[in-house]
Amino acid sequence: MRLISLRPDGSRHRVWSSVEPGRFGGWWVPPGTPVLDAGGAWSSPYPVAALAWPRAWFQVFVLLKPDRTDYYVNICTPPALGADVVWIDLDLDVRLEAGRLWIADEEEFLRRRDTYPPAWRAAAEHTVLAVERAMRSGAYPFRPSFAEALRAEWAARSSAGGPVVG
């Protein structure tokens, strides 16, 4: 299974080449998994938990770094969940890194926003505010106890030598 982020014109933006189901309702992106984008291929040296919901206008990457947990939230169309998970990236990202919350790529969104359908623009702008509120209040999936549970699942999965399913 892959995670595929598309541009609004249908071209590929970014592809996570192989993800594995997790018990938490999302997918694991193991360390070293190739991610392909316009800049070439890259990977994370730490495990990443990816979450997406069928009606949500955002998708969450929980970055399980050795010394802390960070969050990278893509503002996007609701994903198509099937053989792959596919969404359309709407440029905006909400990030929580080392306790600092910030919005990334606002300039890109403002530059392209008039090319998006009005419903997409409204959903993106509303979703940024909702995600910021959830991050600030520590709501799921930004709750520290959820990150601890993810770390425990990753440790069990790793020590078992493969995916932990069920």
Q: For position 139, which CATH number holds?
A: 2.40.380.10
State how many domains the chain has.
1
Whether this prediction's pTM lies above 0.85 is answered by yes
74 lies in a domain? yes
Does residue 165 lie in a domain region? Answer: no
In this structure, is residue 67 part of a structural domain?
Answer: yes
* Predicted pLDDT of residue 166: 39
- In the numeric block, which tokens belong to residue 80? 């198509």
Q: Within a domain: residue 91?
A: yes
160 pLDDT tier (thresholds 50, 70, 90):
confident
Does any domain span residue 14? yes
Q: For the residues 102-117, what does the mean pLDDT come to?
A: 93
Residue 116: φ, ψ to 5°: -85, 150
Which residues in 69-104 are b (16+ Cβ under 10 Å) and which e?
Answer: bbbbbbbbbbbeeeeebbbbbbbbbbbbeeeeeeeb
Question: What pLDDT digit, counting tens, does each position of 54-85 carry?
Answer: 999 999 999 999 999 999 999 999 999 999 99
